[in-house]
Amino acid sequence: MRQKLVAGNWKMHGNSQSIRELLAALTPAVAESAAEIAVIPPLVYVPLCVDLLAGSKLSIGAQTVSEQCDPGAYTGEVSAEMLADSGCHYVLVGHSERRSLYGENDALVAAKTEAALNAKVLPIVCVGETREQREAGETLKVVGRQLDVVLATLKSEHEKITVAYEPVWAIGTGLTATPEQAQEVHAFIRTQLAAHSAELADTVRILYGGSVKAANAAELFAQPDIDGGLVGGASLDAEEFAAICNAIG
């Protein structure tokens, strides 16, 4: 049985004071949630979150990672080993904003996934189509290609990844895939994983990310192949994010 996971991606938001207030309100509000819960702050605030969440049920992730595994002259980069050392349990790889704003391609996403696994940091591999690709009927082709490159690159530990389906047209727009649209893509991803092995399909969690809110979380999470959510803006509001986490049945 796959435990549901809800991860809150704070993106480039927050400061020391607002994070203290957010976590002080959030931690007791999700104490009884059946979900595993992670927060993904800007990297500079990871140590603060580690301190504030000590002894709680919440895990911590990072928003990106270098593909470089060995120390070296890579100014501005942070390795997966450093993330592990700082207390990160998860890391996002291939988020649509990293792909569109910073030119991360499928091969780089796969390399980052492998680097994370080598350091025992669990990658949340993001896949998804643009609005133009959906309207052209290319959703499954795009998502399939993005995930295939990752699965083909990994030498082992495929079962330790989490996949997050995030339709690009539904991120930060207020638009949301219907539960049926989301389930269709999640089921396709599950079938793609099963092509590698039945165990992989049974083990890997697939999250939905795209304007998840308290109002739609329960219906989305009730779909058979949706194992939780990757939440953006709503994760910055303790009450709203707690309601999403507590929507897990």
Q: Which residues are catalytic?
A: 95, 166
Question: Which residues does 103 contact at the CB level (< 8 Å), separation at least 6?
Answer: none
In angstroms, the CA 49 to CA 180 distance is: 36
**Helix (H) or strand (E) run with residue 9 in it:** strand 5-9
CA nearest 247: which of 25, 239, 99?
A: 239
Q: Which one-letter DSSP state was computed for residue 105?
A: -
Token readout for 108 is 């780089």
Secondary structure (3-state) at 221: helix
CA nearest 168: which of 204, 209, 197?
A: 209
